[in-house]
Structure 1
Amino acid sequence: METTTLHLHTAFTVDTVDPRIFGGFLEHLGRAVYDGVYNPESVHADDMGCRKDVLAALRRLNFTAMRYPGGNFVSGYHWQDAVGPREKRPKVRDIAWQSIETNQFGPDEFLELARRMDWTPMMAVNLGTGTPEEARNWLEYCNVDGGSKWADMRRENGYEEPHNVKLWCLGNEMDGPWQIGHIPAENYAILAQQTARMMKMTDPDIELVVCGSCAPDLPTYLEWDRKVLEHVRDEVEYLSLHRYVGNEFDDTEEYLAVTNSIDRQIEATDAVCLSAYHTRKTKRRVHLSCDEWNIWYRARHGEHLDGKGKYAPHLLEEQYNMEDVLVAAGFLNSFIRHADSVKIANLAQIVNVIAPIFTRGDEMFLQTIFYPIEMYSRRRTGTSLQVQVQGPGYTSKRYGKVNYLDSSAILNGDELSVFLVNRNLNEPMEVEVRLADAPIESLLNADFVAGTDPKATNTFEHPHRVQSCTHDDIAIKNGVATISLPPLSVYAGTLKIGR
């Protein structure tokens, strides 16, 4: 195969990579909270009842913004049920996932966990069955020092100091007909505007995410975003978008081309934000929060969505394989390439429910998609560079022309991190990394994950079938690095450059 060249220039930048694009999502859904991060009966339980083995794995992913408590769940959630003495918290029926919620793990427990894990809490308020006043009261509970009803309630519950939650979502997927309390765009926009104003009157330093289109195949796609932005012109900082993908037709090559579609969704949604700004519908540029993204298609129907009135039922439990590794890396490449517009992104989710970590009793293993996220997150600091790929590719039936190489790059002082995905199913690839205005001097570190079988999975019986390894198959000559990649592989490496 002919050599593929990745062309870069240190002056051709996109923007600083916001560390919050390496965020996660913890929803009260299935076994994500209960039997996931929280299980006081486990041999791994810490003083909070959280699983030390799960938390140790999560620390490896170095998540930043952690979204909570939902998701579809939040549209029927009333935060008052889940604070105060545990013995007084009611058990309730969650109609989003048809499960029993015990409220034994609530906002205070989550925020304590966030402190221990160094996560930036990203709370979502209920705008399905909830009200602007309920959302504002929750903000007071979390952020106001004391001397008023809800702040004093927090103090009575044992939290003297405010939680200082600065990132809030105004509901969840309100454009989706499946959502509890779904309403037309104009109605939601007014509700979001009222909520935002009340919340910012309580704490003007918060940042708000308003619901945008949650899927590109909905009939209201982008038109919803336009209408919402016309109403919340001064109150919000971010517009949400969600994206789940899958290999429904069992065509690996076609599936790996889906990054084209991810790019287009980001660019189209950002175009709406820019239009709103330039036509003075908004006074500031609203950026993007891709606060749900992942591979999800195997466990998306029927019994996978119905908790049947059970506590911590097995819902949305995907088993990931090698081809999913490349697609997860493709999402991250897209976020890095669009660092000027995407400021927050949340992997949905973090444990058991469409997640990189999976538990069974006191056992745990790491799913295949764990590894690209870990590899990228280690190298996330710096400025995104524009990438230009020159090399062979193929034509996808749905997504058009794609290069075999999918890539992104981050510059951090004299260190250049490159992220490379070889989408070729059968042939290795040699990638020349050429930095036009500076020589590449040496390799500092590199990891990769590869496999000849796109359907290879990790299991409890075979937990290490797919995993990352160090990579040193590189040649550097005359300031150009040549990196050898096997078929179906993801590479993340940091190079030392001269000036």
Structure 2
Amino acid sequence: MITMKKTKVILHKDYQISPVDPRVFGGFLEHMGRAVYEGVYDPQSAHADADGFRTDVLEAMKPLGYTAMRYPGGNFASGYHWMDGIGPKAKRPTVRDLAWQSLEPNQVGTDEFAKLSRQMGWTPMMTVNLGTGTPEEARNWVEYCNAPTGTLYANLRAENGSPEPYDLKLWCLGNEMDGPWQLGHVPADQYAIRAQQAAKLMKDVDPTLELVACGSCAPDLPTYMDWDRTVLEYVGSYAEYISLHRYVGNWKGDTADFLAVTNSIDQQIEEMDAVCRFVQARNRSKKRHYLCFDEWNIWYRARKAEHMNGRGTFAPHLIEEEYNLEDALVVAGFFNSFIRHADVLKIANIAQIVNVIAPMLTRGDDLLLQTIYYPFVIYSQRRAGISLQPVVEGPGYESPSYGYVNEIDTSAILGDGVLHVFLVNRNLKESALVEVQHPGGQLTGVTSAEIISGTHPDERNTFEQPNRVTSQPFQAVSVRDGAAQLEIPPLSVVAVSFTCA
């Protein structure tokens, strides 16, 4: 195997960015395609529990350690009226969802999601309808979820079996309202008024809410940045966060170029943060807005019109991507970028969690873990601590789309007596010799090390061959004289937990 020039990764103990917010490892469950029905919920499945949720799917999600779980959309949220999804299931209406042109039976709604979140240890992240809904509808939903009994909607929650408030604190003020495809899309100044009205009413019910305003959902929209400035200036202190979304793909069929997309992810985060800082200065405000990357993933194969139109059917197969090894490395790249920006990025949600552009797929009662499942696990299980600023010295290459990148993409989290280091070798053919130095401290040993690798960037898992790309123990690491030496195969991501002093 060919080995390229050595890369040195310097992780100074005192060059700390910020604690990594665990909510960066969030998920997204939308009423779209087979995400809810035939995904997490399938009463007809042999794996269904007493509430109709699939135990095999839920068990497979546990190693991912999802934190903030966004619900019920997505584009779906802009046509969703939450009262359709409460009360006796037999009396809930079946409605036509216009976002995805599908039938929605409302068999899963607020109460079912709140119960599932409690069971799974998720932080519910509710998206109110600011497309076809009203600020008052959003306010009523907060009362239903969070108010003690004694008023109309809180009493209704009790009648539906939950006398105690759900105490849901994280709410999104609509979804992708800058997108012309969105139900109820309006210009930024009109959305800002609608969002401010909703935010005030919602916080009048529960002042402890954290709210996410709709930011630009794609860098290539003509309103990018202008939208965000307008919204933040008007909504002001009513919102704690502004959202950003990003879906990437290997449109050119060029793996090396695709793996360099991390430059663009870094740029998007830094540009959005620049808007937040500008608005804070412009408003002369002590309050600073943080970033919520509440939709991100690889999505490009199933992105034609026919992939997004349910044609009036129930649980249609919509945007179901089959992921490969290079996609897994890009997911690792997203996490590296998130960790490196821990001072400004506080929430992130992979879109989505099952079937719809997701780490897992169902087929009848069978379940497949896709390649992108595994990087999420090895990062999420090492997420506790403070992000360190990495300095990388070593070979790199020029990407036609994204500019110069190092062959090794990296991030690191310093915990209590442990240093978690994440390394992606973007080289297609050569192994990487990597030295990890820890000035201000020293590495003393290895507690765990895992690798995700393969023989070809298009290698993928299938129902017939489900274990072609998985995480495996990583052996090619040693520690001596306070530093670590690693040999990382091409097209690989490695996660190592070092003991340190």
Q: Return the TM-score normalized by structure 2.
A: 0.99
- Bigger drift between 337-346 and 1-10 goes to 1-10
Deviations 1:430-481 (A, max 9, x none): 1100011111110010111001200011110010011000112112121110
Superposition pairs for residues 337-352 of structure 1, below 5 Å?
Answer: 337-352=340-355
Match of 2:230 in 1: 227
Match of 2:38 in 1: 35
Shift of 1:282: 4.4
Q: Is the 8 A contact 1:125 1:168 kept in 2?
A: yes
Matching of residue 256 in structure 1 with residue 262 in structure 2: no
Match of 2:372 in 1: 369
Measure, in 2, the Cα distance between the counterparts of 1:281 and 1:438. 40
Matching of residue 187 in structure 1 with residue 190 in structure 2: yes
Q: Is the 8 A contact 1:230 1:281 kept in 2?
A: no
Match of 1:84 in 2: 87
Residue-pair matches, total: 498
Superposition pairs for residues 99-498 of structure 1, below 5 Å?
Answer: 99-280=102-283, 282-498=285-501
Shift of 1:281: 5.6
Shift of 1:250: 0.6
Measure, in 2, the Cα distance between the counterparts of 1:393 and 1:274. 32
Moved over 4 A (4+): none
Measure, in 2, the Cα distance between the counterparts of 1:166 and 1:472. 43
Q: Secondary structure at the match of 2:219?
A: coil
Q: Is the 8 A contact 2:233 2:283 kept in 1?
A: no
Residue type of the alignment partner of 1:36:
G
Structure 2 residue aligned with 1:66, among 66, 69, 76? 69
Measure, in 2, the Cα distance between the counterparts of 1:452 and 1:225. 43
Deviations 1:356-400 (A, max 9, x none): 010000000100000000000000000000011100010011111
Residue type of the alignment partner of 2:273:
D
Aligned-residue sequence identity (percent) comes to 60
Structure 2 residue aligned with 1:4, among 3, 7, 11? 7
Q: Secondary structure at the match of 1:84?
A: coil
Measure, in 1, the Cα distance between the counterparts of 2:441 and 2:128. 48
Measure, in 1, the Cα distance between the counterparts of 2:475 and 2:124. 37
Measure, in 2, the Cα distance between the counterparts of 1:123 and 1:102. 19
Structure 2 residues not aligned, in runs of 5+: none
Q: Secondary structure at the match of 1:232?
A: helix
Q: Is the 8 A contact 1:406 1:422 kept in 2?
A: yes
Measure, in 1, the Cα distance between the counterparts of 2:478 and 2:139. 58
Q: Secondary structure at the match of 1:42?
A: coil
Q: Is the 8 A contact 1:111 1:163 kept in 2?
A: yes
Q: Secondary structure at the match of 2:236?
A: coil
Residue type of the alignment partner of 2:410:
S
Q: Is the 8 A contact 1:5 1:434 kept in 2?
A: yes
Measure, in 2, the Cα distance between the counterparts of 1:229 and 1:285. 10
Q: Is the 8 A contact 2:441 2:500 kept in 1?
A: yes
**Cα gap change, 1:226/1:281 in structure 2, threshold over 3 Å: closer, same or farther?**
farther
Deviations 1:234-280 (A, max 9, x none): 10100000000000111111100000000000000000001111222
Q: Secondary structure at the match of 2:428?
A: coil
Residue type of the alignment partner of 1:352:
N
Measure, in 2, the Cα distance between the counterparts of 1:430 and 1:284. 45
Q: Is the 8 A contact 1:429 1:484 kept in 2?
A: yes
Measure, in 2, the Cα distance between the counterparts of 1:281 and 1:464. 55
Measure, in 2, the Cα distance between the counterparts of 1:284 and 1:400. 34
Deviations 1:310-364 (A, max 9, x none): 0000001000000001100000000000000000000000000000010000000
Match of 1:44 in 2: 47
Measure, in 2, the Cα distance between the counterparts of 1:183 and 1:354. 27
Measure, in 1, the Cα distance between the counterparts of 2:232 and 2:442. 45
Q: Is the 8 A contact 1:31 1:312 kept in 2?
A: yes
Shift of 1:117: 0.1
Measure, in 1, the Cα distance between the counterparts of 2:286 and 2:43. 48
Structure 1 residues not aligned, in runs of 5+: none
Shift of 1:303: 1.3
Pairwise CA RMSD: 0.7
Shift of 1:302: 2.0
Residue type of the alignment partner of 1:475:
S
Measure, in 2, the Cα distance between the counterparts of 1:2 and 1:436. 22
Shift of 1:43: 0.3
